[in-house]
Amino acid sequence: MKIKWFGHSCFLLTSESGVKVLTDPFNNQVGYRLPVVEADIVTTSHGHYDHNYIQVVNGKFKHLDKPGVFEQDGIRITGVSTFHDEVQGAKRGKNIIYIFDIDGLRICHCGDLGYVPSKEQAAVIGRIDILLLPVGGIFTVNTDEAMKVMELLKPKLTIPMHFRTPRLLFPLNGVDKFLSAAGITGQEAYANRQEIDVTPDSLGILPRIIVFNYE
């Protein structure tokens, strides 16, 4: 499976058979270059402009924006209802965590998760191989909370998202504070590329946290 980051919370997951899943596409108010991409499946974690701009996607695709269990093009997708804040959605509404079963891997996209899920919610989410985790705080979990989410779900690989970069047009914290909390110094977590190939076997030799480049 290939994982490609377009910036913010937008990833393209491409299975070995060529099925393409796009997560949380954003509009031109975010600052990153708009992705030019076709997809078979598009998931949006919630209705904010930096996560739900499906108009940017080419081709005929299945749009998922609700909790539940779905089967599409040989991929099993589980949407778990959560919240965008620590007060059960009173500030920013609901959020959907999506879990994708692709090529023997379980990938969890947290969307704009705003709190640390309960153990009961973690049990619903289940085993996770790859965690796509917001770490920029302010509108999502902060550094300490992101660390707790990672400890709760126990992924083999964590890919930070939704953090400050030179392209982003609104305030978030950078990724360095999260890396420092995880005991990572220097450049060891930086992939220096936008896309990687991952298999169940390669997870054992990849770093436990990888920071992607963007276009």
* Nearest CA-CA partner of 43 in 58, 60, 65: 65
How crowded is residue 104: how many other Cβ atoms within 10 Å of its Cβ? 11
Task: Report helix, strand or coil for 203.
Answer: helix
**Rounded Cα distance, 23 and 41, in Å:** 9
Q: Rounded mean pLDDT of the chain? A: 94
Task: Indicate the range of 20-24, 65-69, 81-85 predicted with least confidence.
Answer: 81-85
Q: Give the number of residues written for the chain.
A: 215
Per DSSP, helices labelled H in the chain are 119-125, 143-153, 176-181
| pLDDT tens profile 103-126 | 999 999 999 999 999 999 999 999
| pLDDT tens profile 36-51 | 899 999 999 998 888 9
89-100 average pLDDT score: 85
| pLDDT tens profile 153-209 | 999 999 999 999 999 999 999 999 999 999 998 788 999 999 999 999 999 889 899
Res 188: pLDDT: 84
- pLDDT range class, residue 60, cuts 50, 70, 90: very high
pTM over 0.75? The answer is yes
If you compute the radius of gyration of the chain from its CA atoms, what whole number of angstroms results?
Answer: 16
**Rounded Cα distance, 210 and 7, in Å:** 14
Res 93: pLDDT: 65
Res 44: pLDDT: 97
**Rounded Cα distance, 169 and 171, in Å:** 7
With contact defined as beta carbons under 8 Å apart, do 112 and 95 qualify? Answer: yes
**Rounded Cα distance, 14 and 75, in Å:** 11
Res 16: pLDDT: 97
Domains of the chain (ranges; CATH) run 2-204 (3.60.15.10)
Task: Indicate the range of 7-21, 80-94, 163-177 predicted with least confidence.
Answer: 80-94
